[in-house]
Amino acid sequence: MQQQYVEVAPGVRLWTERCGADGPALLLVMGAQASGLGWPDVLVEALAVRHQVIRYDHRDTGRSTTAFDEHPYPITDLARDAVAVLDGLGVERAHLVGMSLGGMLTQLVLADHPERVLSATLIGTCALSDTAYAAPDGTRVPVGELPGIAPEVLEMWSRPVEDGGLEAELDRRVEHWRVLGGGQLPFDASYFRDLERRIIEHTGTHAASTAHARADDSHMLRTDELAGASVPTLVISAPAEPVFPPPHPRHLAQVIGVGTRVVEIAGMGHALPPAVQGPLAEAILAHTGSAVMMPGGTTP
């Protein structure tokens, strides 16, 4: 396992970690306000059997530079950071796996830098497109009419985050994971408490950042670019997903088009509890194993 800081912009450096086999690189892109340690070790180790797995801390998370208040940036800069991480680690092409906001960032890289992407896996996210969803009955549903975020999630996100100390912050984060889990699988509070305690120790503070929620999210639509994408893409469908519930995965697959596959992980919500880690690793490895490299390449 190798840890390294990568400078992605003047005065901005990101913490990265690499582990695993000498196979094709696989870059894990986490969601908003989430450290790279949000990718569970068991999942990372399963993927590392076949890949050089890279996870990293976004700006304003984990051990990476905290600078939003002094130098605000748009969400699109976080996608550029993902490419800069590959550059800094000397990786020409990689399989990308993105969750939540990380799934949007992966779409941006797929659209803007397809030559850097061996394959893409999108989890718990929505399409960066204004193309209507074609329902099974032939109805075309405008993007704005697709199911929205669950009220319980919106209510929690609307609460002000107050600093009540370490244990109170752990309580808040565990409750957040309970809500995001979606309720179909048993919820293991101790698992998520241990995960968040480790992330806090890694970060060095229990203070919660709001940088990504405040970042400019304009200029993210990539309708034409995604429709023309030729990179093998897998979309994970989570039946208990409370943020981007079905049919968002099917819509995403329609937007990206030919060759995009959808795989459902039973009971999954907007979280990565132990019960979904094995099936998710199997789905990702099956996808990366069958994906064909960009023109001029070979099957990895």
Quick one: pLDDT at residue 300?
A: 33
**Over the chain, what HEC string results?**
CEEEEEEEECCEEEEEEEEECCCCEEEEECCCCCCHHHCCHHHHHHHCCCCEEEEECCCCCCCCCCCCCCCCCEHHHHHHHHHHHHHHCCCCCEEEEEECHHHHHHHHHHHHCHHHEEEEEEECCCCCCCCCEECCCCCEECHHHCCCCCHHHHHHHHCCCCCCCHHHHHHHHHHHHHHHHCCCCCCCHHHHHHHHHHHHHHHCCCCCCCHHHHCECCCCCCHHHHHCCCCCEEEEECCCCCCCCCCHHHHHHHHHCCCCEEEECCCCCCCCCHHHHHHHHHHHHHHHHHCCCCCCCCCC
Domain range enclosing 89: 2-148+208-290
Instruction: Judge whether 32 lies within some domain.
Output: yes
Quick one: pLDDT at residue 207?
A: 94
- Write out pLDDT tens, residues 92-109: 999 999 999 999 999 999
Local confidence band at 73 (pLDDT 50, 70, 90 cut-offs):
very high
Instruction: Judge whether 159 lies within some domain.
Output: no
Instruction: Judge whether 156 lies within some domain.
Output: no
Flag whether pLDDT at 297 surpasses 70. Answer: no
Instruction: Judge whether 173 lies within some domain.
Output: no
CATH label of the domain that carries residue 229: 3.40.50.1820
Instruction: Judge whether 179 lies within some domain.
Output: no
Instruction: Judge whether 167 lies within some domain.
Output: no
Query: What is the reported pTM?
Result: 0.95
Local confidence band at 298 (pLDDT 50, 70, 90 cut-offs):
very low
Average pLDDT over residues 61-87: 96
Instruction: Judge whether 132 lies within some domain.
Output: yes
The rounded distance, in Å, linking the Cα atoms of 206 and 167 is 9
| Total domains present in the chain | 1
